[in-house]
Amino acid sequence: MGAAGPLCALLLLLGTGTGTGPGPGPGPAPPRVVLALLARNAQHSLPHCLGALERMDYPAGSIALWCATDHNSDNTTAMLREWLGAVGKDYHSVAWKVQEEPSSYDDELGPKHWSDKRYENLMRLKQEALTYAREQRADYILFVDTDSILTNNQTLKFLMAQNKSVVAPMLDSQTFYSNFWCGITPQGYYRRTADYFPTKNRQRVGCFAVPMVYATFLIDLRKEETSQLAFYPPHPNYTWAFDDIIVFAYSCQAAGAEVHVCNQQRFGYINVPVKAHQTLEDERVNFVHLTLEAMVDGPPMQRSRHISLLPKPLTKMGFDEIFLINLVRRPDRRQRMLASLQELEIAARVVDAVDGSTLNSSDIKVLGVDLLPGYYDPFSGRTLTKGEVGCFLSHYNIWKEIVSRGLERSVVFEDDVRFEAAFPERLQRLMEELEEAQQDWDLIYLGRKQVNVEDEVPVEGVQNLVVAGYSYWTLAYAISHRGAQKLVAAEPLSKMLPVDEFLPIMYNKHPNEDYKRHFAPRDLLVFSAHPLLVHPTHYAGDSNWLSDTETSTIWDDDAKKTDWAGSQKTLRDSRGGAGHLRSTARDEL
């Protein structure tokens, strides 16, 4: 490890041929691969990274593991040791290097700061792994960063089949960031090109020549041009930045080894790196957001079953109750939401939703439900659906429970929520500021669709909070005891309309005066997080979109089926642009 100090080299070495994993079977032996894994302060992502590697569809007996870890201030070393102890016998051989002390470089400003000594150490380690692979006469070396999660277990086989000198699987992230550049300047800096976004968004699909790949990539050591590739020392003519990925890009260019990135399949994920002044906790929060995005977009990540992890302590974020509304016949949504909330360390109570599809006219009468006179959907012209009746009753039942139990502050989630990054921290900070400002409130939208284009008035003394205008959706909101009392006291069941039309009436922002005259008083104090803290998982027209309110039947006529055609409510907000992407992270870098 060069200047990094003393180390334990080859602390664990399992001799050639000891692998007991799935054998090659009949026919020629599969190519020999060295898998190089370098980890530092990676306990937030390492269980997922290793879980993906152990599920890789490739004979473990044909893979030699080369692992290194150093300068850790977290549990990375213990995790790696536990994992290698459990799976090492399955691989052809295992070599790993560990340096426990010191926990930082003397020229770095923090654990996420890339100093020259840190870059040099990383380049030396990568060069050592490359040299090891050549000495072992491996056919390939696969470099994998611990913030890369290869959920596609066919990735290695796919990359080999491309027959490229250097090839990377394109990895998805929470933003437009990925693990390749499409352009580089003569000085070695990033250059934006017209190809990046079409490639990242898979509007063009294939394996494309690019000047740089990083994080996870495969080198074909059998090709003559790759024999000159090096990470350290940099090429004698090298004048670009002292950075391992740029040094390697220059080495590929100098050796004439073409570099490719492939995006034909979804191979996995890469965490968006934090900035130099940020902390390991910031990185963990980022990675939690990535795991939540993977749960929505699929395929989800899976932790290694060989690493012991303590269960996460769950809290209610200072609220009295967290409600999760879910239809019993939608167990997939329930499972995803509960898994997401567990990752966020939020304790929620599942409330079985009222299934409107099971209600007949007799049930509806017994419940005292009747249609608000003159109500029609503003877009499709249809009347209320049974799905909308069930949705309203589900929320109404929670409001009644809040009143009866005397719950001062609660949060209500529907089961189609996509969380923004750092959701718990941002919500708790918002509520603390609200209390410090002594601002009364009845309901706060955490996610919604703003109907009108006008800017909304910010709340004085509270950052990221506005006075809510006419809004659609009830996918997530905070509600006070007083707010629930007001909603129940309005006796809405006998004059029902969709719940997301009822709420704007109650805070007097609905544009239909005829609807409003049926309800008084209309003094609900309603605000909205700005920017929003949650979004829908999918929108009308998306391939995975499904709505139990829009796709239903008319409330008093099962013969009349409805769908979302003609309705604008569930379409993506045209002003939202990037949808769930954070406004500060919409660029590729």
pLDDT in tens, 134-151: 999 999 999 999 999 999
Angle at 264 between CA 263 and CA 270, to 5 degrees: 35
What single string gives the DSSP state of each residue in 347-402?
Answer: --EEEEPP-GGG--HHHHHHTT--BPTT---TTT----BHHHHHHHHHHHHHHHHH
Q: Which residues contact 52 (CB under 8 A, 6 or more apart)?
A: 149, 150, 151, 153, 268, 301, 302
Three-state DSSP state, 186: coil
Which pair of tokens denotes residue 587? Answer: 């660029």
pLDDT in tens, 297-350: 989 999 999 999 999 899 999 999 999 999 999 999 999 999 999 999 999 999
Torsion angle of alpha carbons 315, 319, 322, 323, nearest 10°?
Answer: 170
pLDDT of residue 547 exceeding 90: no
**CA end-to-end span of the chain:** 29
**Predicted local confidence at residue 582, as pLDDT:** 38
Hey, how many other C-beta atoms are within 10 angstroms of the C-beta on 187?
9
pLDDT in tens, 41-62: 999 999 999 999 999 999 999 9
Least confident of 45-59, 114-128, 240-254, 379-393: 379-393
* Residue whose pair of structure tokens reads 């130099």 in the numeric block: 276
**Predicted local confidence at residue 581, as pLDDT:** 37
pLDDT of residue 131 exceeding 50: yes
pLDDT of residue 541 exceeding 90: no
What confidence tier does 5 reach under pLDDT thresholds 50, 70, 90? very low
pTM: 0.89
Hey, how many other C-beta atoms are within 10 angstroms of the C-beta on 539?
18
Give the ranges where 144-265 is alpha helix by DSSP (H).
Answer: 155-161, 196-200, 244-255
β-pair type (207-209, 148-149): unpaired
What confidence tier does 383 reach under pLDDT thresholds 50, 70, 90? confident
